[in-house]
């Protein structure tokens, strides 16, 4: 699929979402929030559902949690414009309650189609509802900051999934903010591993300020272990041979 075809597919999905009445969440929404970002990216961030500000603007992650997500992206040299950002459900659950299973199921085909259109190498899940879509049965407290292959039924069977807490969680529990930034450091490393597994020709590295020289790239395992951890301080990951060298101090370009 060309980039133009991906864009057209994403726009068509967005138009359907805007008019969707498949579940009860359409009743109280101001605007549906299909998601936004470039069709050329290798990385998709998937949150839970729109909040108050997102519902008003029809855009994902535009409130305080969105500002934190932008900060997190910036911490690894990325921007919102270089990735695609969406949610498990596209309409705001009333009072920001958790989405119900039938609502997640009703909205699921839209996310599946977005994944098919984008064919991402890496899916970053933000929060437990998103994580459950790609790695059913996992516990966020145990797997945040780690990656594993996506569940085949997730819609992105060839992607790696990297689990993170939802940025909104750090607004309620300040101690999670440092955890989020620490976990974010592993996202570019997970992308490197995802590229390797997909045999994607590496995007040119070594342009100014990016990963520098390939000699700086971390050593990666031959195959992604379930919940491999790209951080250098994780003994389990080191024993599994995943990312045995120090974490990156340089940055990895998405383009």
- DSSP labels for 72-111? HHHHTT--GGGSEEEESSSSPPGGGPPPPHHHHHHHHHHH
- Asked if residue 25 binds ligand SF4 (CB under 6 A), the reply is yes
**Residues 226 to 245: which contact ligand SF4 by CB under 6 A?**
none
- Measured between alpha carbons, how far is 61 from 92 in angstroms, rounded to an integer? 12
**Mask of contacts with ligand SF4, 103-132, x by CB under 6 A?**
x--xx-------------------------
Q: Tokens for 155?
A: 């819609």
Using rule CB under 6 A, residue 88 touches ligand SF4: no
Residue 62 in tokens: 């535009």
Q: Cβ of residue 107: shortest distance to ligand SF4, in angstroms?
A: 3
Q: Assess 22 for contact with ligand SF4 (CB under 6 A).
A: yes
- Least separation in angstroms between residue 227's CB and ligand SF4 is 29
Evaluate whether 53 touches 62 at the Cβ level (below 8 Å): yes
Nearer to ligand SF4, 109 or 202 (CB): 109
Q: Could you say whether residue 195 binds ligand SF4 (CB under 6 A)?
A: no
Spatial contact of 168 and 182, defined as CB atoms under 8 Å apart: no
Query: Under the criterion CB under 6 A, does residue 89 sit at the interface with ligand SF4?
Result: yes
26 makes contact with ligand SF4 (CB under 6 A):
yes
> Rounded CA gap, 167 and 173, in Å?
10
Say which residues have a Cβ less than 8 Å from residue 252's Cβ, sequence separation at least 6. 76, 77, 188, 189, 191, 192, 205, 210, 211
Stretch that binds ligand SF4, among 24-32, 39-47, 139-147, 212-220 (CB under 6 A): 24-32
Which position among 13, 32, 73, 76 is part of the footprint of ligand SF4 (CB under 6 A)? 32
Given the rule CB under 6 A, which residues bind ligand SF4? 17, 20-23, 25-26, 32, 89-91, 103, 106-107
């Amino acid at each position: 699929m060309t980039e133009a075809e991906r864009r057209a597919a994403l726009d068509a999905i967005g138009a359907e979402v805007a008019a969707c009445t498949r579940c009860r969440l359409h009743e109280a929404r101001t605007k549906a929030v299909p998601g936004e970002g470039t069709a050329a990216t290798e990385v998709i961030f998937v949150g839970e559902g729109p909040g108050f500000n997102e519902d008003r603007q029809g855009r994902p992650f535009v409130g305080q949690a969105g500002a934190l997500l932008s900060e997190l992206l910036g911490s690894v040299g990325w921007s919102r414009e270089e990735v695609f950002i969406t949610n498990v459900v596209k309409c705001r659950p009333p009072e920001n309650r958790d989405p119900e299973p039938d609502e997640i199921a009703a909205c699921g085909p839209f996310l599946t189609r977005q994944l098919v259109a984008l064919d991402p190498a890496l899916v970053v899940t933000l929060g437990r509802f998103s994580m459950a879509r790609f790695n059913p049965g996992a516990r966020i407290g145990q797997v945040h900051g780690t990656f594993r292959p996506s569940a085949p039924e997730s819609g992105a069977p060839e992607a790696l999934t990297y689990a993170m807490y939802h940025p909104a969680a750090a607004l309620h529990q300040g101690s999670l903010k440092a955890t989020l930034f620490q976990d974010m450091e592993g996202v570019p490393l997970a992308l490197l591993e995802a590229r390797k597994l997909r045999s994607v020709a590496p995007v040119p590295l070594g342009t100014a300020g990016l990963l520098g020289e390939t000699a700086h790239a971390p050593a990666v395992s031959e195959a992604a272990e379930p919940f491999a951890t790209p951080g250098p301080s994780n003994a389990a990951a080191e024993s599994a041979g995943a990312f045995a060298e120090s974490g990156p101090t340089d940055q990895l370009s998405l383009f």
